[in-house]
């Protein structure tokens, strides 16, 4: 089945039969469960916009493998222009959803795996790249949604995988058979996994010889026996079950609906295995995935920030403070920060280069700078939104209070803003700001695509500090002194 429309996508999820738990209970049909519907709606935009003529150039591409037009979320970047269109697309979809639309992680995993399997085959004479290319053709033709399985829970982080008390704290190979492998373990914080079709598992860190069983890359249908998902709680997630006003962003929800995925002795046939013990390439795969994913953040977070700026401006208008100079100044600062993170994504894309596989790859130093800026600027954008909106953001009554026959009149009266603006509409805008700048959204901006320290580690590796010291010495007229050793 080729998934083209939202209806196709929802039908494919309904028929999938994968195992998902919410609040301790198995969900029989995620397409009708209020906890999942907003996330499904957000992901659906990646299908709907590919069918819209005005977005065709951004949301679709021509496959370099088949020559067919495909959804861009299944495309391998072939040019610098592809890298730039990726960022532009993410901002455009964020304008439609105001939330995470979830397919970026799998897209980045496809690209990172494509590049790295080529390199593994060049060194070891394996056939991983051929296998992966066939898998990719299937994903492109069916337009299935893939989640990129990078993060393991890691247990005691002072110890490598093979020294953990429980080996399943990292996903690993349990058994190698003639027809495939058996794997066990987990992947955590998996954005969009509950409403995805496949997971592309990757190693979570550089692996050494002793951890070669953890140097694993493979593709697993999420409906496979032994795979189950546990949906994570989100800030104010109960509001999905209530009225639309309290929800804030009722149609598209909050962030991406992350799950903990458990692999309990799951069989994977060899044709779906793309790294199995080649620990020398585990770090490269991680680095490539991380760079591709960090490239995204100025696009999607720039788009989300555009919505926050608009909502903040409306909140100021509704309460009569829009004309104040300090409000105008804060809105200008929010715009500056938004365009700063967006320009980072565009710059790392524009400075991208071709890899030996033929796929294009963003500049890794600039991609890491982009994500580091997001970890800071999104918090400042949220802080300024809170500043302008005021304390009411944290103390608004329930939607049912507004609708109450007994007390609704008081909520209507005392939460009124400027004449001509309904109290309900004011509350709706404030709830949208609350939804988009709350705890879960900010934590994802901090830790998604790697925590801030991981970007600083990459600075040390990529910033050519020795070269910079040599340039400084040259201008200062300092000759290298003889070694005292």
pLDDT at 352: 98
Catalytic residue status for 9:
no
307 is a domain residue: yes
Domain contains 355:
yes
Q: Is residue 128 part of a domain?
A: no
Q: How many domains does the chain have?
A: 1
371 within domain boundaries: yes
Catalytic annotation, pick one of 293, 312, 369, 377: 293
pLDDT along the chain (485 residues), means of 10: 95 96 97 96 98 98 98 98 98 96 97 98 98 98 98 96 97 98 97 97 97 98 98 87 88 90 98 98 97 96 97 98 98 98 98 98 96 95 97 94 97 97 97 90 84 86 90 92 67
Q: Write down the pLDDT at residue 485.
A: 54
456 in any annotated domain: yes
User: Has 297 been annotated as catalytic?
Assistant: yes
Distance CA(399)–CA(415), nearest Å, equals 12
Tell me, what CATH number does 374's domain have? 1.20.140.10
Q: Which of 100, 217, 218, 369 is catalytic?
A: 100
Candidate list 74, 97, 117, 191, residue with the active-site label: 191
- Is 300 designated active site? yes
Who contacts 5 (Cβ-Cβ below 8 Å, separation ≥6)? Answer: 47, 48, 51
Q: Is residue 347 part of a domain?
A: yes
423: domain range? Answer: 284-462
Catalytic residue among 217, 218, 276, 300: 300
444 is catalytic: yes
**Closest among 237, 256, 253, 138 to 195, alpha carbons compared:** 256
Instruction: Provide the 10 A C-beta neighbour count for residue 189.
Output: 19
Neighbours of 155 (CB within 10 A): 16
Q: Which of 22, 47, 114, 297 is catalytic?
A: 297
The predicted model scores a pTM of 0.94
Asked, for residue 267, whether it belongs to a domain, the answer is no
Identify the pLDDT of residue 52: 97
* 33 is an active site residue: no
For tokens 């592809």, name the residue. Answer: 82
Q: Can you give the pLDDT at residue 242?
A: 81
In a domain, 468, yes or no: no
Query: Among the options 9, 60, 97, 104, which is catalytic?
Result: 104
pLDDT at 442: 83
97 is in an annotated binding site: no
Taken in order 384, 385, 390, 395, the sign of the CA dihedral is: negative
100 is catalytic: yes
């Amino acid at each position: 089945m080729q998934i083209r429309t939202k209806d196709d996508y929802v039908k494919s999820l309904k028929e999938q039969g994968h195992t998902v738990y919410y609040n301790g209970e198995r969900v029989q049909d995620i397409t009708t469960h209020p906890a999942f519907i907003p996330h499904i709606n957000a992901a659906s935009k990646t299908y709907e916009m590919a069918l819209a003529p005005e977005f065709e150039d951004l949301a679709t591409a021509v496959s370099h493998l088949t020559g067919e037009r495909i959804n861009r979320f299944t495309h391998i970047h072939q040019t610098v222009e592809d890298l730039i269109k990726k960022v532009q697309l993410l901002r455009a979809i964020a304008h439609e959803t105001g939330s995470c639309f979830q397919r970026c992680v799998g897209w980045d995993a496809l690209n990172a795996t494509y590049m790295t399997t080529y390199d593994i085959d060049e060194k070891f004479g394996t056939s991983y790249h051929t296998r992966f290319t066939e898998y990719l053709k299937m994903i492109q033709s069916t337009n299935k949604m893939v989640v990129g399985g990078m993060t393991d829970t890691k247990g005691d982080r002072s110890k490598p995988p093979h020294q953990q008390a429980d080996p399943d704290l990292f996903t690993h190979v349990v058994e190698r058979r003639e027809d495939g492998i058996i794997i066990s373990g987990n992947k955590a914080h998996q954005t969009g996994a509950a409403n995805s079709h496949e997971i592309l598992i990757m190693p979570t860190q550089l692996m050494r010889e002793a951890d070669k069983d953890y140097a694993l890359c493979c593709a697993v249908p999420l409906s496979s026996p032994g795979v189950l998902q546990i949906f994570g709680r989100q800030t104010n997630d109960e509001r999905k079950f209530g009225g639309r006003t309290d929800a804030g962003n009722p149609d598209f929800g909050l962030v991406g609906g992350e799950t903990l995925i458990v692999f309990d002795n799951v069989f994977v046939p060899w044709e779906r295995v793309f790294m199995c013990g080649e620990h020398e390439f585990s770090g490269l795969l991680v680095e490539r995935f991380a760079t591709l994913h960090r490239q995204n953040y100025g696009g999607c977070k720039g788009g989300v920030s555009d919505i926050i700026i608009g909502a903040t401006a409306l909140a100021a208008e509704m309460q009569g403070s829009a004309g104040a100079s300090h409000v105008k100044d804060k809105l200008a600062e929010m715009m500056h920060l938004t365009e700063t993170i967006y320009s980072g994504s565009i710059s790392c894309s524009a400075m991208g280069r071709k890899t030996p596989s033929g796929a294009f790859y963003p500049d890794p130093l600039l991609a890491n700078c982009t994500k580091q800026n997001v970890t800071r600027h999104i918090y400042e954008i949220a802080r300024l939104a809170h500043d302008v909106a005021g304390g009411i953001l944290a103390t608004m009554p329930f939607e049912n209070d507004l609708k109450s026959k007994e007390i609704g009149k008081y909520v209507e009266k005392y939460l009124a803003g400027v004449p001509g603006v309904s109290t309900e509409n004011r509350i709706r805008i404030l709830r949208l700001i609350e939804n988009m700048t709350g705890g879960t959204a900010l934590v994802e901006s901090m830790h998604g695509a790697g925590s801030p320290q991981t970007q600083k580690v990459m600075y040390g590796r990529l910033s050519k500090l020795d070269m910079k010291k040599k340039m400084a010495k040259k201008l200062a007229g300092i000759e290298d002194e003889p070694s005292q050793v």
